Each structure stands twice: as C-alpha cells, then as structure tokens.
Amino acid sequence: MWKSMWPRQSEVSAGSVLTELQEVVPRVTVKRVAALLIMLVAFLAAVVVMVVLAHFVSPIDLERYGYFGVMVSNLLPSLSVVIPAHFFLPGQAVSVIVAAAGSVLWAALAASVGSTLGEVTAYYVGYGGKNLLNLERFGRYHTAERWMRRRGGLAVALFAFLPLFFFDVVGIAAGALRFPLRKFLFFCYLGRLPRAFIEIYFYTWIFENIISRLPDWMSGPLWTGEGTGV
C-alpha cells in the first residue's frame, strides 16, 4: 500500500524539481516585495500576540488544554479556504506558549495534525466544486494542478512544507483531480510536521530570549513560575 503512495524514482530528479520551482518562486516585483512586507508584519504581530498571551496565560490553563489546544488552534485557521493561515496568529502563539512550557516536538506534532486536518476543506472544495465552481478564479490554480499531475504526493508534501500563501489551491487541485484523500492527508502531514517543528522552535527560541530580558511584572505567571511551585 505504502509503495503506491510514493512517486517512482525515475519520475523525480532534483534538476527538474528546481526547474519547476522557478514557476512558483516568481521574480522580484513590487507585489512580491509587498507580500514579503506583509509576512514581516505578520511575524512581528505574532511576537506581540505571544507576549500578550504569556502575560495572561497561566500554567493551569496549559494543563487544562495543553496540546489539544494547540491542535484546535491550528485546525481552525486551516479550515479557511484561500485566506492564508499565516494571518490567524492565535494558532502560532498558542503553539509557542505550550511548547515553551512543555515540548517543542509534541507541540509540533499537535500543530501539524490540526493544520493537516483543516486542509480537508480545500480538498473538498475542489472535489465537489469541480463542475460548479470556476476554479480559474483561484490564484495559481493552474500551477498547482500542473504540479499535482506531474508530482502527485511529492507536490503536496513540498508545498505543505514551504511557507507559501497558496497551499489551499494545492488542496483544491488535489480534490479536483480526485487525488485520494488518505494520500493527500499523509503527504500534507509529511510536509507540515517538519515545518511546524522549525517554526515553533524558531519562535520559542526568540520568545524565550525576549522574555528572559523582561521585568517579572511584564513576563506573566508562565515565565515567573507563579502557580507552578517553581
């Protein structure tokens, strides 16, 4: 069963994949610079949200919700179609808060489960709306469809890993092409897990270094040990 889920070796070469990536990574334009600025603003906003949450969150809340809260907070943003999950900051913030108090690996596992399950929405938009919706109105749909036809599960894993705004379009293309749902979820998780680990580890490292330099009255109970017996 698992052998059928992987593309044949002859179909995959580093050169061809890099060549096709040139279609996805566009030339520098004013719009691209604006997109990078939006990503930077989203990053800074995520840091601010995490600082605020750290001030109000308590260890009791983490024990009550913990990794389940991480999964749900990443599931809900992924349920949206076309609107990038990057703009929904609570998911990232909750993941980092829980990871700082527990384990980055477990937080990444929970976050990637939630974000993967949420992509089912985009999949079924393509699956059920192929003959009802004008799929061309979704930006980069043709690029996503071409990648899905050529690479299948590899395309899903690659775009799930890359921090690009249009992964929902890949899910729509997978559904429209009747790519098996179990394979779609498997390869999506394969890409989301390392991405979640890298993002959470990165944010946690930055966050802990920022918080360690803040006065106790600003850092909140999670970082001062209040209510933990520390």
Q: What's the domain range around 207?
A: 27-222
Q: Does 190 fall in a domain?
A: yes
91-118: average pLDDT:
79
Q: What is the per-residue pLDDT across 169-180, written as a single tens digit (0 to 9) for each?
A: 888 889 888 999
Q: What is the per-residue pLDDT across 133-156, written as a single tens digit (0 to 9) for each?
A: 565 655 577 788 888 888 889 999
Number of domains in the chain: 1
Whether 230 shows a pLDDT value over 60: the answer reads no
Structure tokens at 135: 């799929």
Q: Does 2 fall in a domain?
A: no
Give the range with max mean pLDDT: 141-145, 195-199, 210-214.
195-199
121-144: average pLDDT:
71
Q: What is the per-residue pLDDT across 27-49, written as a single tens digit (0 to 9) for each?
A: 545 555 655 565 566 556 555 65
Share of the chain above pLDDT 70, in %: 48
Q: Does 185 fall in a domain?
A: yes
Q: What is the per-residue pLDDT across 93-106, written as a single tens digit (0 to 9) for each?
A: 667 667 666 788 88
60-86: average pLDDT:
68
Q: Does 99 fall in a domain?
A: yes
Q: Does 1 fall in a domain?
A: no
Nearest to 12 by CA among 20, 2, 22: 20
Given phi > 0 = left and psi -120 to 50 = alpha, else beta, which region is 66?
Answer: left
Other CB atoms within 10 Å distance of the CB of residue 74: 28
216-220: average pLDDT:
53
Other CB atoms within 10 Å distance of the CB of residue 212: 9
Per-residue pLDDT at 185: 95
State the distance between the two ends of the chain, measured CA to CA, in whole angstroms: 50
Q: Does 15 fall in a domain?
A: no
Amino acid in position 113: V
Q: Does 109 fall in a domain?
A: yes
Per-residue pLDDT at 211: 61
Q: Whole-model pTM?
A: 0.63
